[in-house]
Amino acid sequence: MEYSRPVFQSLLTRRYLTSKVMPLLASAAVMLSVAMELITWSVMGGFLEQLIQSGRTLMGDVEIARPQRGFGDYEKLIEMLEADEWIEAATPTIDAYGLVKLNDTPQQLTTTCRIKGIDPESFNRVTGYFDTLYWKPIDTPMPRDKDREDPRLDPAKREMFETTQRLGQELFGYDVGAQSDRDQAVLGIEVFSKRGLRSEAGFVTDDWVFLPGKDVTLNVLPIDMSGGFLEPVARKLQIGNEFSSNIYEIDSQTIYVPLDELQQMLKMDRAEIVETGGPIEFIYDNAGNPIGRMLPEVVGVTPARVTSVLVRGVGDHIPLRDLQERVKEIYTRFESQSEHAPPVDALDVLTWQDRNATLIGAIKKETALVLFIFGIISLTSVFLVLAIFWSMISERTKDIGILRALGASGPGVAWLWVRYGLAIGVVGSILGGILAYIVITNINAIHDWMGATLGIMIWDPQVYYFARIPEDFNLTKALIIVAAGIVSCGLGALIPAWRAARMDPVKALRFE
């Protein structure tokens, strides 16, 4: 009488899986291996994806840049760019570094900062700047604000926050102290965080750290057209709002100011070119003797300059390199029409990927390396299954002999143990995927709990670039890792299965 292969294989697989402790331990090992790899891949992959998205958000798709010296006639260049069907918007910016002092506070805090001159309206079309403004009315509390203490939720303060939102959008508005309109500045939300101005709850609760309405003094060092330094320039502006991009590197080092304001401070605004070869003017000394001097003569005008123009393409269907080449072509036409435009070889036309290439490349390699190392570590599940099955086959030698005596074939016995290994892999891998999903989707809550309860803070935004741990559970990644866990268990069962299939039925039945 011959056993029906599916019947005996299914029966014994279920019995061995539920009656032994060692297979359950093997499933637990597979579960932890799968969860570890999937959590690592999700966090590091999410970090990379967030970095890529932030790079595009902060500078658009393509940047035309000439640091320090800048270039003129940018209005005409922007007009030519926006006339192209591939380009949605373009905006002029100026980048400079200087000192920023927070006035009207006991500490008189001072820090170095990246000062960025922008045109708010066009800058928003390219980067989504308006969405990053922090002080504005909100209806939904932030994730860690369980008690709704955030003042932006207070209906009584809604009008005030609508005002700060408008000041941030226009970079110009009413100053209560001066009783007149004046230019506004928008600081990164973390600019003064190192000085203890921000609460650990993730939102501002103390009145004195509400910075809008206070003054900051900006100090910059202009550079002339030949690259020489000029006299330092200081300017006092009112803080209209703050912004939060959720990228610590940006939020802690950046301040936005009106473009024309920074142009004036850096001597990059429109200026007349004056020579002393004009008409002669006579003046008389105390003795009545005439003294001639040549009057200055205006011989030309230097247009206002910017250090970069940011470009946003239409949609995501246009390849980035093709858009870059189109921008270069437009700039080449612009160069031929403007006497103030430097040659295309004298400036940089970079995509957001080019601008962040070093960091993106390093993270990709680090992700691959960590996954490779964890993959090697996870191979222990293969050897664990191999060792457990080898031991079980030694214990179940008589059972194997009975199966063979009843008509089970060698391949049928081998498939029994391979199937058993795959069952362990399926159980462990699925549980590992579920565990990884729970951890990844709650990773920031878990981290906050560890910080509050155990004093353990692993994710420092000053080190890891972003303020929050990326929560990127990807189904494709999960399926790949789960499938790899199942296959590894099947591989671990192959050698013991081959041993079981080669057993002599007579010797197996005599085994004690």
Q: What is the pLDDT of residue 480?
A: 86
For residue 218, the tally of other CB atoms under 10 A from its CB is: 22
- The answer, yes or no, to whether residue 510 has pLDDT greater than 70, is no
pLDDT at 269 over 60: yes
Residue 154: pLDDT above 60? yes
| Calpha distance 126→118 (Å, rounded) | 11
Instruction: Report the range of poorest mean pLDDT among 232-241, 343-352, 375-384.
Output: 375-384
pLDDT > 70? residue 27: yes
pLDDT, position 44: 78
DSSP SS3 for 220: strand
| Cα–Cα distance measured from residue 41 to residue 164, given in angstroms and rounded to the nearest whole number | 40
* Rounded-to-integer distance, Cα 96 and Cα 74, Å: 18
338 three-state secondary structure: coil
- Judge whether residue 267 has pLDDT over 80: yes
For 296, residues 6+ apart whose C-beta sits below 8 A from its C-beta are 274, 275, 276, 278
Least confident among 165-174, 304-313, 392-401: 392-401
157-166, 173-182, 322-331: range with lowest mean pLDDT: 173-182
Calculate mean pLDDT across residues 168-177: 84
Q: How confident is the model at residue 299 (pLDDT cuts 50, 70, 90)?
A: low
Distance CA(137)–CA(208), nearest Å, equals: 19
Inform me whether the pLDDT recorded for 200 exceeds 60. Answer: no
pLDDT tens readout for residues 431-453: 999 999 998 888 888 877 777 77
Q: Cα-flanking dihedrals φ and ψ of residue 63, to 5°?
A: -125, 130
Summarize pLDDT for 335-348 with one digit per residue, the tens. Answer: 988 888 888 888 99
- Average pLDDT score over residue span 139-149: 77
Strand locations in 303-454 (E): 305-306, 308-313, 348-351
Number of other residues whose CB lies within 10 A of the CB of residue 346: 11
**What pLDDT, on a 0 to 100 scale, did the predictor assign at position 360?**
72
The pLDDT score that the predictor gives to residue 207 is: 38
Q: Is the pLDDT score of 503 beyond 70?
A: no
pLDDT score of 259 more than 90: yes
Residue 2 has pLDDT above 50, yes or no: no
Residues 6+ apart with CB under 8 A from 388: 22, 23, 25, 26
Which residue has better confidence, 69 or 366?
Answer: 69
0.85 surpassed by pTM: no
Among 25-34, 125-134, 439-448, 478-487, which range has the highest average pLDDT? Answer: 125-134
Q: What is the pLDDT of residue 289?
A: 67
Q: Is 269 helix (H, G, I), strand (E, B) or coil?
A: coil
The DSSP output letter for 317 is -
**Residue 47, pLDDT above cutoff 80:** no
Q: Is the model's pLDDT at 63 over the cut of 90?
A: yes
Query: Residue 43's CB: how many other CB atoms inside 10 A?
Result: 20
- What local confidence, expressed as pLDDT, does residue 409 receive? 67
Which of 26-30, 181-185, 254-258, 260-264 is predicted least confidently?
A: 26-30
| Confidence grade of residue 166 (pLDDT, cut at 50, 70, 90) | very high
Q: Is the pLDDT of residue 50 over 90?
A: no
45-54, 233-242, 334-343, 481-490: the lowest-pLDDT one: 45-54
The pLDDT, as a whole number, for residue 204 is: 40
Q: Which has the higher per-residue pLDDT, 458 or 258?
A: 258
Q: What is the DSSP string of 127-165?
A: H-GGGGB-SS--SS--TT-TT---GGG-GGGHHHHHHHH
Q: List the chain domain ranges.
A: 5-52+362-509, 94-269
Of the candidate ranges 221-225, 261-265, 432-436, 467-471, the one whose mean pLDDT is the lowest: 467-471
Q: How confident is the model at residue 202 (pLDDT cuts 50, 70, 90)?
A: very low
More confident residue, 484 or 20: 484
In angstroms, the CA 48 to CA 71 distance is 33
Tell me, what amino acid is at 421? G
Q: What percent of the chain has pLDDT over 70?
A: 73
Model pLDDT, residue 68: 83
- Average pLDDT, rounded, for the chain: 79
Share of the chain above pLDDT 90, in %: 28
